[in-house]
């Protein structure tokens, strides 16, 4: 009789050592289940790139084993990469009603919604994808309908916290069900995977009721317009704003596609209650006194084309800053966006607005648990093994330190890297051979066609500029018929450096005079080397030099 394989292998494809691109793969007995599949937004050095998604080639090589996709919640860093994975799979996707509504909206943009089986699940439901059984536990987060997971596997029970915080008195019952986590964990838990984002923050997060009280004080004191920006998926906070506007006799005008879409989704699903008496269009807003207006707009991260950024730069066609306007940035600053947000804040002050944001006013509460709440999750689950997820590397290390303080054996609190599979056996664990997980860059309709070499060229173009050399030669004699002409882009102001460009032309003429029999290809290479050396010597700059030599 063949002994049944009870091992399970955990492979993170993203989300470990970084904030974003969360994607975890569970494999056992020839079956694979994917937990979340998110994207990450580009950094400053990703010139022109739209988004980053996990590398899927290893996963797709085993696509016949994939049984389904489980989603914890609807943020972009957990569902955003699915439009690039689902065209290659024919498997069901499980998630809450609101999560799947957000995903369906994304799939419609890619003309995929008709081909994907979206299966809604409710808190307390169970889904079996042999050999795994998934239990869905409600968690409090900065988006409604988020879940933590209890997973029954051949090797033992696994708990995945999802993105969570512990709010003792949440708005609209959006609570983290610690009792459900405890009941599932009572027989013993092999492994806990837990959100690590705010491990460095002591105590507990502000509650949403505290944020509403803070916002209420702002509404009470403000005598001008209130302009608010936040994450467009934060339905609870958006509801609070409409409620406060109604309380203080203001009307709300919404501007920004993602906000409008998400509000409509939430209303249609019954998650928002908005009276028509409290809403108005941008056109109607013009006729209202400033103290009767609330503007709800996109742009919490300083995105260049967002509504708030265009207002701050004076480029919005319908909205301009009035003296006495109060701008509330009710969201956290995502790492990497600090400069963009600071630019927007400074521009708003320059136009005469007052700006309140997280660092100066308690108008935002994180959706991620702080140190004390993370400790509560650990003591509730009491896992044998612990692997921190959803955080930069220092967050993972510090979360492991907390796990050891909570009783996890030091050798069983493990910091994993993306692409490092970890197998659990009945009597131990094993690190498997690493797989390649460098992210795939999406630029327009191109997926993966932008790599290190293209980014390097874009960086050179952005930092040093471009010099185009145009020369037309007589095919028979090799004599120059036209040129050399120099065209510069992003290199120098041509009128100011006209003398230097004339010297550059002399260098080019010398190449043709002293080496008249060179092929166009070799001539182009000589020109490139000569001009780059000349520009480095004269200006200490190294532009991209592109010679175009044509024989006629």
At 360 the pLDDT is 56
Q: Say yes or no to pLDDT of 505 above 50.
A: yes
pLDDT tens-place string over residues 68-109: 999 999 999 999 999 999 999 999 999 999 999 999 999 998
Q: Is residue 154 part of a domain?
A: yes
Please state, in angstroms and rounded to a whole number, the distance separating the CA atoms of residues 159 and 383. 8
Banded pLDDT at 43 (limits 50, 70, 90): low
Question: Does residue 137 sit in the same domain as residue 61?
Answer: yes
Please state, in angstroms and rounded to a whole number, the distance separating the CA atoms of residues 124 and 474. 80
> Is 195 among the catalytic positions?
yes
Q: For the ranges 167-171, 224-228, 304-308, 509-513, which has the lowest average pLDDT? A: 509-513
Q: For the ranges 180-194, 227-241, 320-334, which has the lowest average pLDDT? A: 320-334
**Helix (H), strand (E) at residue 27:** strand 23-28
Closest CA to 141 of 371, 376, 378, 368: 368
Banded pLDDT at 487 (limits 50, 70, 90): confident
Question: Does residue 375 sit in the same domain as residue 305?
Answer: no
At 120 the pLDDT is 97
How many domains is the chain built from?
3
Closest CA to 285 of 275, 297, 299, 295: 295
Question: Does residue 39 sit in the same domain as residue 63?
Answer: yes
Question: Does residue 154 sit in the same domain as residue 13?
Answer: yes
CATH of the domain at 117: 3.60.15.10
- Domain range holding 145? 8-203+366-437
Closest CA to 301 of 337, 249, 250, 251: 337
The whole-chain average pLDDT of the chain stands at 90
Final residue of a structural domain among 383, 411, 437: 437
Q: Is residue 258 part of a domain?
A: yes
Beta strand pairing status for 391-392 and 16-17? parallel
Please state, in angstroms and rounded to a whole number, the distance separating the CA atoms of residues 486 and 468. 6
Question: Does residue 12 sit in the same domain as residue 99?
Answer: yes
pLDDT tens-place string over residues 447-475: 766 667 666 767 777 777 888 888 888 77
Question: Does residue 389 sit in the same domain as residue 495?
Answer: no
Banded pLDDT at 496 (limits 50, 70, 90): confident
Question: Does residue 159 sit in the same domain as residue 216?
Answer: no
At 451 the pLDDT is 64
Question: Does residue 301 sit in the same domain as residue 158?
Answer: no
Q: Say yes or no to pLDDT of 319 above 80.
A: yes
At 506 the pLDDT is 85
Which of 234, 364, 368, 399 does the annotation list as catalytic? 368
At 113 the pLDDT is 84
CATH of the domain at 477: 3.10.20.580
Question: Does residue 120 sit in the same domain as residue 241?
Answer: no
Q: Say yes or no to pLDDT of 227 above 70.
A: yes
At 389 the pLDDT is 97
Q: Is residue 57 part of a domain?
A: yes
Q: Say yes or no to pLDDT of 529 above 90.
A: no
Integer angstrom CA distances of residue 504 from 327, 383, 447, 524: 52, 70, 39, 14
Final residue of a structural domain among 357, 387, 408: 357
Q: Is residue 445 part of a domain?
A: no
Question: Does residue 59 sit in the same domain as residue 173?
Answer: yes
Question: Does residue 392 sit in the same domain as residue 428?
Answer: yes
At 520 the pLDDT is 76
At 1 the pLDDT is 37
Query: pLDDT > 70: what percent of the chain?
Result: 94
Question: Does residue 69 sit in the same domain as residue 193?
Answer: yes
pLDDT tens-place string over residues 428-446: 899 999 999 888 877 767 6
Which of 167, 195, 325, 443 does the annotation list as catalytic? 195
Q: Is residue 443 part of a domain?
A: no
At 539 the pLDDT is 82
Give the residue-averaged pLDDT of 255-280: 94
Give the residue-averaged pLDDT of 249-265: 96
Banded pLDDT at 486 (limits 50, 70, 90): confident
Final residue of a structural domain among 357, 385, 417: 357
CATH of the domain at 237: 3.40.50.10710
> Is 368 among the catalytic positions?
yes
């Amino acid at each position: 009789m063949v002994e049944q394989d009870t091992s399970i292998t955990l492979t993170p494809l993203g989300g470990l050592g970084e904030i974003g691109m969360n994607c975890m793969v569970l494999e056992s007995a020839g079956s694979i289940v994917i937990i979340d599949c998110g994207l990450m937004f580009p950094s400053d050095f990703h010139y022109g790139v739209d988004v980053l998604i996990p590398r899927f080639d290893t996963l797709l090589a085993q696509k016949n084993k994939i049984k389904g996709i489980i989603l914890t919640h609807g943020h972009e860093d957990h569902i955003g990469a699915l439009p690039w994975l689902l065209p290659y799979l024919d498997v069901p996707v499980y998630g809450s009603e609101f999560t799947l509504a957000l995903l369906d909206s994304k799939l419609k943009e890619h003309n995929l919604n008709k081909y994907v089986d979206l299966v809604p699940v409710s808190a307390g439901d169970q889904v079996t994808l042999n050999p795994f059984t998934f239990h869905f536990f409600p968690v409090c987060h900065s988006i409604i309908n988020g879940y933590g997971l209890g997973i029954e596997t051949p090797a033992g029970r696994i708990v995945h916290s999802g993105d969570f915080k512990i709010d003792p008195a949440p708005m609209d019952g959006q609570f983290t069900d610690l009792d459900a986590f405890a009941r599932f964990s009572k027989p013993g838990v092999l492994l806990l995977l837990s959100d690590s984002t705010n491990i460095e923050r002591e105590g507990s997060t502000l509650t949403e009721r505290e944020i509403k009280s803070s916002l209420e004080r702002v509404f009470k004191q403000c005598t001008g317009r209130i302009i608010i920006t936040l994450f467009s998926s934060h339905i609870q906070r958006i509801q609070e704003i409409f409620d406060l506007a109604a309380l203080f006799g203001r009307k709300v005008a919404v501007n920004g596609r993602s906000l409008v879409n998400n509000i409509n989704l939430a209303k249609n699903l019954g998650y928002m209650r908005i009276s028509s008496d409290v809403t108005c269009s941008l056109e109607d807003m013009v006729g209202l006194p400033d103290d009767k207006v609330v503007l709800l707009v996109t742009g919490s991260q300083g995105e260049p084309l967002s509504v708030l950024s265009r207002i701050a730069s004076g480029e919005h066609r319908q909205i301009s800053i009035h003296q006495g306007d109060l701008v509330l940035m009710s969201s956290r600053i995502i790492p990497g966006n600090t400069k963009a947000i600071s630019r927007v804040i400074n521009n708003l002050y320059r136009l005469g607005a007052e700006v309140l944001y997280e660092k100066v006013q308690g108008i935002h509460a994180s959706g991620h648990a702080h140190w004390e709440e993370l400790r509560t999750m650990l003591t509730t689950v009491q896992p044998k093994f612990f692997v921190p997820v959803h955080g930069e590397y220092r967050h993972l290390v510090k979360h492991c330190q907390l796990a050891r303080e909570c009783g996890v054996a030091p050798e069983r609190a493990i910091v994993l890297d993306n692409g490092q599979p970890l197998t659990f056996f009945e009597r131990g664990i094993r690190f498997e051979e690493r797989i390649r997980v460098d992210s795939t860059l999406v630029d327009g309709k191109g997926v993966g066609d932008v790599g290190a070499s293209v980014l390097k060229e874009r960086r050179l173009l952005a930092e040093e500029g471009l010099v185009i050399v145009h020369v037309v030669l007589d095919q028979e004699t090799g004599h120059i018929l036209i040129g050399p002409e120099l065209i510069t882009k992003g290199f120098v102001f041509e009128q100011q450096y006209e003398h230097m460009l004339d010297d550059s032309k002399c260098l080019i003429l010398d190449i043709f005079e002293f080496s008249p029999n060179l092929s166009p290809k070799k001539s182009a290479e000589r020109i490139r080397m000569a001009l780059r050396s000349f520009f480095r010597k004269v200006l200490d700059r190294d532009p991209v030099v592109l010679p175009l030599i044509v024989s006629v």
